[in-house]
């Protein structure tokens, strides 16, 4: 994005905390990155207000069954949006005093407010490359996720269209990030969770702590039953497998290939939490590679056990892998396919 000198657009589907964005702008500028002419916020995007944040925290406090909200005001902001009481950036432009005590803060963002719809369509007409980056993951999607333990927006590939104004016919390909094991932050069903030494090792080696809240992530074996459901919803063309190196210490590695419920195999992913909390994962066991793969730069350099693990993911999901990440640095990626040229 901006640190690479590229334009960064926050689409109409995003809800924005002005103070948070101003903090990020300040942080970038302190590090020598210019934001001017590179950051654009949709005039149709909704504004997170202090009231939203207060409501979010209070609602979670009084829930008998916690959802695991981050307390950042996102849910209440989307609630106001859907009930047609929300405040958009264009509303501020037309009515600067629309939010009590917030005028000065919003004034600082005025240079970044833009008609991003026209910007993106102009870029398409000029045959420029565009990456739509979604937040969170499929199972936090308001419609297709583990409801009610979900976020308040569409986190699937379809959200790139509704959240920007780009039609589905303009999307060339969908590249989905799939961690080599499964994680979840906060509450909600997690059939493959490992509340044992396996889970502890994944947490600490993988440094699994939430980026927003700092909460420890729950960890478990890779769930391909979930991944295949996600593939179908998102229309995934390629996988990007991340954190394969985290599995390097295991003698045995497991992959979930399905669920049993009341001793019967489920044919599709359950829609209710009640069933998900009662399923029994079915695992396939793989021999671990137990060696450092963080310096591998090609497919041939990977140990055969790691290749077997990756090939099974491709075969089970009928989807090729484009990139394999073997470390935290940008150069620790094994590129198998150039998704831009394919």
Domain boundary among 97, 131, 165: 131
Do the domain assignments include residue 154? no
- Residue 166 in any domain: the answer is no
**What integer pLDDT is reported at residue 67 of this predicted model?**
63
Domains: count for the chain: 2
Question: 158 in a domain, yes or no?
Answer: no
326 and 204, same domain (yes or no):
yes
Same domain, 183 and 127: no
Give the span between the Cα atoms of 147 and 46, in whole angstroms: 23
Q: Name the residue with tokens 């009640």.
A: 274
What per-residue confidence (pLDDT) applies to 66?
A: 60
By three-state DSSP, how is residue 332 classified?
coil
Which residue range(s) make up the domain with 328? 173-335
- The phi-psi region of residue 129 (left if phi > 0; otherwise alpha if psi is between -120 and 50; otherwise beta) is beta
Q: Which residues of the chain have pLDDT under 70?
A: 63-69, 342
Task: Enumerate residues 6+ apart whose C-beta is below 8 A from 252.
Answer: 285, 286, 287, 288
Does 114 fall in a domain? Answer: yes
Q: What is the structure's pLDDT at 58?
A: 86
Are 91 and 189 in the same domain? Answer: no
Residues 212 and 296 in one domain: yes
Pair 317, 228 in one domain? yes
Residue 180 maps to a domain: yes
- pTM of the prediction? 0.91
The 10s digit of each residue's pLDDT in 213-244 is 778 899 999 999 999 999 999 999 999 999 99
Same domain, 328 and 209: yes
Domain boundary among the residues 81, 99, 131 is at 131
Nearest to 326 by CA among 225, 131, 179, 192: 179
Other C-beta atoms within 10 Å of 263: how many?
6
- Residue 71's pLDDT is 81
- Bridge pairing between strands 252-261 and 222-223: parallel
Q: Which of 97, 113, 131 is the last residue of a domain?
A: 131
């Amino acid at each position: 994005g901006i640190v690479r000198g590229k334009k960064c657009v926050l689409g109409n589907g995003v809800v924005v905390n002005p103070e948070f964005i101003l903090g990020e702008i300040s942080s970038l500028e302190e590090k020598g990155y210019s934001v001017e002419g590179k950051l654009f916020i949709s005039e149709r995007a909704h504004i997170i207000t202090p009231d939203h944040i207060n409501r979010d925290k209070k609602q979670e406090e009084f829930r008998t069954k916690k959802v695991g909200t981050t307390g950042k005001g996102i849910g209440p902001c989307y609630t106001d949006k859907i009930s047609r009481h929300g405040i958009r950036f264009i509303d501020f432009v037309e009515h600067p005093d629309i939010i009590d005590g917030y005028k000065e803060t919003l004034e600082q963002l005025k240079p970044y407010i833009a008609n991003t719809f026209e910007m993106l369509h102009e870029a398409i007409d000029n045959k420029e490359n565009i990456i739509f980056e979604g937040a969170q993951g499929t199972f936090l999607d308001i419609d297709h996720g583990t409801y009610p333990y979900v976020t308040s927006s569409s986190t699937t590939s379809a959200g790139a269209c509704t959240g920007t104004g780009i039609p589905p016919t303009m999307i060339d390909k969908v590249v989905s990030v799939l961690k080599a094991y499964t994680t979840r932050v906060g509450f909600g069903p997690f059939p493959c969770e490992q509340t044992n030494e396996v889970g502890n090792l994944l947490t600490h080696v993988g440094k699994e702590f939430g980026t927003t809240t700092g909460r420890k992530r729950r960890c478990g074996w890779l769930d391909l039953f979930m991944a295949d459901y996600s593939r179908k919803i998102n229309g995934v063309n390629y996988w990007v497998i991340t954190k394969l190196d985290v599995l390097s210490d295991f003698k045995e590695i497991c992959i979930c290939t399905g669920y049993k419920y009341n001793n019967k195999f489920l044919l599709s992913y359950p829609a209710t939490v009640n069933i998900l909390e009662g399923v029994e994962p079915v695992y396939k066991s793989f021999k671990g590679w137990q060696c450092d793969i963080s310096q591998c730069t090609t497919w041939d350099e990977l140990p055969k056990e790691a290749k077997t693990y990756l090939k099974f993911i491709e075969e089970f999901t009928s989807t090729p892998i484009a990139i394999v990440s073997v470390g935290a640095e940008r150069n620790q990626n094994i590129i198998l396919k150039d998704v831009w040229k394919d």
